[in-house]
Amino acid sequence: MEIIVIALQVILGLVFLAAGLTKVVASKAALQPKMAWVDSFPAAAVKGIGAAEALGALALLLPLVSPLPDVLSLISAICLAVTMVLAIVVHLRLKEGNQSLPAGVLLVLLLALVALLITR
């Protein structure tokens, strides 16, 4: 079971790190073709969301390679799941649910599974 948790942490960590860094580095104009929601937020908010995702990813991954406690991964998984729930709400309000809803729900479920398995 531990291998499953580690694999999920690595996969989710890399997904959120890539997504977060993309939002931090790219301009709103560059993000807009694939992320129409950025038009509804100030540039600083988009960068902040990206920074939160990237930092959450690091907090999910660092306990795997350092003496940091597993509780950091637990907190990170919960915070990233909350972030994704809020993202789902935004996408539904903007009527973008058809494209993003399945991926968002899958990420929330996987993060919840990681949090559950870490507590065992």
Q: Which residue is listed with tokens 């507590």?
A: 119
In angstroms, the CA 61 to CA 69 distance is: 11
For residue 8, count other CB atoms closer than 10 A to its CB.
18
pLDDT at residue 96, as a whole number:
83
Structure tokens at 77: 């998984």
3-state secondary structure of 42: coil
Q: What is the pLDDT of residues 98-112, one digit of tens each?
A: 778 999 999 999 999
Phi, psi of 32 (to 5 degrees): -55, -40
Q: In the chain, which residues have pLDDT < 70?
A: none
Structure tokens at 84: 């994704």
Assess contact for 50 and 20: CB atoms under 8 A.
yes
pLDDT at residue 120, as a whole number:
86
pLDDT at residue 99, as a whole number:
76
Percent residues over pLDDT 90 in the chain: 89
For residue 32, count other CB atoms closer than 10 A to its CB.
13
